[in-house]
Structure 1
Amino acid sequence: MALTQGSAHGTLITVAPTGAELAKADFPQLPTTLEELVETAVACEAAGASMIHLHIRDGEHRPTLDQGHLKAAVDALREQTSLVIQLSTGGSVHDPLDQRLTVLDAEPDSCSLTCGTTNFGDDVFLNPYGFMSDLYVQAQEREVVPEFELFDLGHVTSLARLIDTHGLPFGGKVHVDFVTGVPGGMPGTPAALLAGVAMLPPEVTSWSATGIGRSHLPVAAAALSAGGHLRVGMEDNVVFARGVPVEHNSQLVERVVHLADVMQRPALSTADARVMLGVKDRG
């Protein structure tokens, strides 16, 4: 695996502040409005995050792929922060495939590209190979950097197939994120994570990991110790400690920044993150 120069010495910290699964009524602290997203992004950048992974909500706080909402969020965050802006192409597990492809119209810096279908609790997160292939090619054409989301070990094989078929993504770098601990996907354990890392194709230049729920900290520690990067946020975890809810995404960022400092792999600046990921300068 060809790690990007410097990637083992600093840590890319991505914040995923909202997601599509949790209800605002159940978690009022979840940032769902544009104003809340901007405030969250500014605070998390100040805390040490260099990329933000966005799911967008409508005026009723429901997940949406509406172009107006997506573009407004991208534009506002680009104006108020220097974060790498990544839009989810997963949306909600109920969103149709054709609508998920339109996310690239909002001109994000990066987009998620999930490398296979997975059971997602009681639902199915559908990602057939044809959809993955179409999204890969469109991201190349739009000059958007994909982050390959791996929920299971079979997804690593699908990633290799995409690269073999279509060549390298725009920017020439291959960054992946292991999403562990989803009911139906790979478990949130260091052993499972390291098994996935061992399978990565040689074109991969950097990888990060996400631990859902109680796997949040063990996976973060394992990723840091193995040279990986981190994704945290209320999309993945709303409990800071036993009986203590997360009140703001910046709490989760601050904690892993501390862990990264202890491991002598301090948080990457947004400028360094852009270089590592091969992100286009969109002004």
Structure 2
Amino acid sequence: MSRPLIMVAPNGARRGKADHTALPVTTAEIVETAAACHAAGAHALHLHVRDAEGAHSLDAGRYRETLAELGLRIPDMKLQITTEAAGRFTVPEQLACLRQVRPAWASISVREIAREPALAADVYATCADNGTQVQHILYEVADIQQLIDWRARGVVRPDQESVLFVLGRYREGQVSSPADLAPLREALPGIGQWMVCAFGPREHECLVDAASQGGDVRVGFENSLSGANGQPHADNAASVGTLVRSLLDQPPHAQDTFAERKPS
């Protein structure tokens, strides 16, 4: 199987120290976690920043500060910001974040932008104008249908094709399965750049299966705190390292390596 690009999502918008003491919240903690995960085999970071109280934030200043610190400490790691609303932010606030931060790479939830369909064209045009690579976040087939419609109408640009298929949700007892990916891939055939994340203790199993199909993978405490045995990972880097070993146990094609790849 081909070797995927590995992204780590170390905190997300909803979890905190009460969920796991090693979950990073401050800028310093995020930078240290990112460095450890990069050393363990992660090629990219999905970045959430937090405010002074530890809550999810889209503050442009905090993003710029954290991106600068990460760039100095880990210059070879690819950096993606989130624009996730998480029930806190409006589409205009998400758009303002993109305009002010001008990131190289951003994740954008299709269902969140669809709350204000009149602004969708501005969101994707802003990314195109600023050279921001887009990764569309897709939770279910309805999100894919919305994305296909936006593409057909020119709202989404032809080169804005990269997607993240999300398996599962923040739910008590959530256990995602590799089988959850099939309907999403069937609804969006022929996609060139795709990645998978999965909630629950079968996270790594889902990611190894996705990689076997040619997808990239996102791992970390945003989606799962523990392994298949139910034991919490010591930290994000431990989860990354375990996933890397699982991927290396799979038979690769002779020409495939963990070499530098274009972000998905």
Verify same fold: TM over 0.5. yes
Structure 1 residues 47-196: aligned runs within 5 Å = 47-81=40-74, 82-104=76-98, 105-117=100-112, 127-166=115-154, 169=157, 172=159, 174-182=161-169, 188-196=176-184
| Superposition TM-score, scaled by structure 1 size | 0.81
Task: Describe the SS at the equivalent of 2:218.
Answer: strand
Percent of pairs identical after alignment?
A: 27
The whole-number CA distance in structure 2 between the counterparts of 1:254 and 1:26 is: 21
Offset, 1:188: 2.7
The whole-number CA distance in structure 1 between the counterparts of 2:25 and 2:170 is: 24
Q: Answer yes or no: is the 8 Å Cα contact 2:202–2:227 preserved in 1.
A: no
- What are the ranges of 5 or more consecutive residues in structure 2 without an aligned counterpart? none
Q: Answer yes or no: is the 8 Å Cα contact 1:180–1:187 preserved in 2.
A: no
Tell me, yes or no, if structure 1 residue 254 matches structure 2 residue 241: yes
Offset, 1:114: 1.2
Q: Answer yes or no: is the 8 Å Cα contact 2:33–2:237 preserved in 1.
A: yes
| Residue-pair matches, total | 257
Task: Describe the SS at the equivalent of 2:208.
Answer: helix
Task: Describe the SS at the equivalent of 1:29.
Answer: coil
The whole-number CA distance in structure 2 between the counterparts of 1:222 and 1:231 is: 13
What letter matches 1:78 in structure 2?
A: G
Aligned to 1:35: 28
Aligned to 2:250: 263
The whole-number CA distance in structure 1 between the counterparts of 2:258 and 2:181 is: 22
- 1:23-70 CA distance string (max 9 Å, x none): 324432110111111111111111111111111112221111222111
What letter matches 1:44 in structure 2?
A: C
Residues 201/102 of structure 1: CA separation in 2 closer, same or farther (3 Å cut): farther
Task: Describe the SS at the equivalent of 1:179.
Answer: strand
- 1:79-134 CA distance string (max 9 Å, x none): 221211111111432222211112222232211111225xxxxxxx9744334433
Task: Describe the SS at the equivalent of 1:160.
Answer: helix
Residues 26/196 of structure 1: CA separation in 2 closer, same or farther (3 Å cut): closer
The whole-number CA distance in structure 2 between the counterparts of 1:45 and 1:16 is: 12
What letter matches 1:157 in structure 2?
A: Q
Task: Describe the SS at the equivalent of 2:56.
Answer: coil
| Superposition TM-score, scaled by structure 2 size | 0.87
Of residues 157-166 and 232-241 in structure 1, the stretch that sits farther from structure 2 once superposed is: 157-166
Residues 201/151 of structure 1: CA separation in 2 closer, same or farther (3 Å cut): same
- 1:1-43 CA distance string (max 9 Å, x none): xxxxxxx732011100111111324432110111111111111
What letter matches 2:101 in structure 1?
A: A
The whole-number CA distance in structure 2 between the counterparts of 1:98 and 1:187 is: 34
Q: Answer yes or no: is the 8 Å Cα contact 1:74–1:106 preserved in 2.
A: no
